[in-house]
């Protein structure tokens, strides 16, 4: 079992190593223009240098991400509860929410710019918007999907609607809510990075990427992309870890 565990844990590193080797070989064989497809070595060098030269940008994005995820989650959660609790609200607003979910968040940037002005408030507001939009769907669906048996048991215990909502429906909905949280977090990060590339942003990884592309600092561009992927991966891993602790009964 221990051997199996070591093998399983080594597999992702094996894949990463293979990709790096393949990347290096592709660069060496000049399959693509070497200027546009640098070797992984300068990319990795730039990656580690980012923490020294662009730590303000990194901190700025992380701060905005934390605010946006917190705000988007709180608002999305509340909206989800309201959508579940009041059927008429769900029936009335559900088509509108589906309508807004179909509009790419970045297409709303000019509108948010008018409302919130140039800079971080617009970036954060748009990221909160998209996070809340997606999480509310998962919260309401999760609550609506509670098993009848679980609710029936609570009713035989003469529990109040609030007790049933908090102790039964919400707990049963947690797996679906966590899936929503992961989706919302990924979309929040995407929207944040993309809007940082727009005019008016002072700091951020998105701005760093645009500056790198304008100055043809290709290895730094690649390094920035790797950094975004790493942030997304760590955020996702954090949520998965929290889910395993909180929803300890899932799959058992």
- The least distance separating other proteins from the CB of residue 94, rounded to whole angstroms, comes to 18
Closest of 51, 23, 48, 49 to residue 37, by C-alpha: 23
Residues 6+ apart with CB under 8 A from 217: 46
Q: Count interface residues toward other proteins (CB under 8 A).
A: 17
Tell whether residue 4 is a contact of other proteins (CB under 8 A). no
For residues 20 to 59, the per-residue mask of contacts with other proteins, x marking binding by CB under 8 A and - elsewhere, is: ----------------------------------------
What SS3 state is found at 39?
coil
Q: Which CB, 19 or 157, lies closer to other proteins?
A: 157
Q: Which CB, 76 or 175, lies closer to other proteins?
A: 175
Tell whether residue 242 is a contact of other proteins (CB under 8 A). no
Residues 6+ apart with CB under 8 A from 184: 69, 72, 73, 76, 130, 131, 132, 134, 135, 138
Stretch in the footprint of other proteins (CB under 8 A) among 64-72, 97-105, 145-153, 211-219: 145-153
The helix-helix angle for 170-196 and 55-85 (nearest 10°) equals 140
Stretch in the footprint of other proteins (CB under 8 A) among 49-57, 129-137, 152-160, 229-237: 152-160
Residues 6+ apart with CB under 8 A from 151: 164, 168, 169
For residues 161 to 190, the per-residue mask of contacts with other proteins, x marking binding by CB under 8 A and - elsewhere, is: ------xx--x-------------------
Identified binder of other proteins from the candidate list 5, 9, 156, 199, rule CB under 8 A? 156
End-to-end Cα separation, the chain, in angstroms: 20
- The least distance separating other proteins from the CB of residue 171, rounded to whole angstroms, comes to 5
Tell whether residue 249 is a contact of other proteins (CB under 8 A). yes
What is the C-alpha separation between 33 and 36, in angstroms, rounded?
Answer: 5
Query: What string of DSSP letters covers 70-89?
Result: HHHHHHHHHHHHHHHH-HHH
Closest of 179, 161, 182, 183 to residue 84, by C-alpha: 161
Stretch in the footprint of other proteins (CB under 8 A) among 85-93, 101-109, 127-135, 142-150: 142-150
Identified binder of other proteins from the candidate list 4, 9, 158, 245, rule CB under 8 A? 158
Give the pair of three-digit tokens for residue 251. 């799959």
Identified binder of other proteins from the candidate list 49, 155, 202, 244, rule CB under 8 A? 155
Q: Which CB, 164 or 187, lies closer to other proteins?
A: 164
Query: What string of DSSP letters covers 95-164?
Result: HHHHHHHHS-GGGGHHHHHHHH-SSHHHHHHHHHHHHHHHHHHHHHHHHHT--HHHHHHHHHTT--HHHI
Identified binder of other proteins from the candidate list 20, 67, 74, 150, rule CB under 8 A? 150
Residues that bind other proteins (CB under 8 A): 147, 149-150, 152-153, 155-159, 167-168, 171, 247-249, 252
């Amino acid at each position: 079992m221990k051997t199996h565990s070591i093998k399983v844990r080594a597999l992702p590193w094996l894949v990463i190593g293979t990709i790096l080797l393949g990347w290096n070989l592709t660069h060496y064989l000049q399959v693509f223009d070497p200027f546009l497809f640098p070797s992984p070595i300068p990319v990795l060098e730039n990656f580690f240098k980012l923490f020294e030269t662009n730590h303000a940008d990194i901190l700025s994005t992380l701060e905005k991400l934390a605010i946006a995820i917190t705000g988007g989650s709180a608002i999305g959660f509340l909206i989800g509860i309201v959508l579940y609790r009041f059927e008429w609200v769900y029936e009335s607003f559900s088509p509108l929410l589906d309508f807004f979910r179909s509009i790419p968040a970045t297409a709303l940037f000019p509108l948010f710019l008018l409302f919130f002005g140039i800079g971080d408030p617009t970036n954060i507001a748009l990221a909160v918007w998209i996070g809340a939009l997606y999480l509310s769907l998962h919260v309401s669906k999760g609550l609506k999907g509670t098993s009848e048996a679980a609710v029936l048991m609570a009713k035989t215990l003469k529990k109040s609607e609030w007790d049933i909502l908090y102790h039964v429906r919400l707990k049963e909905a947690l797996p679906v809510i966590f899936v929503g949280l992961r989706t919302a977090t990924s979309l929040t990060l995407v929207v944040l990075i993309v809007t940082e590339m727009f005019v008016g942003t002072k700091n951020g990884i998105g701005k760093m990427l645009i500056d790198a592309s304008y100055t043809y600092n290709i290895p730094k561009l690649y390094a920035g992309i790797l950094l975004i992927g790493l942030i997304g991966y760590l955020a996702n891993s954090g949520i998965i870890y929290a889910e395993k602790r909180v929803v300890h009964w899932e799959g058992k």
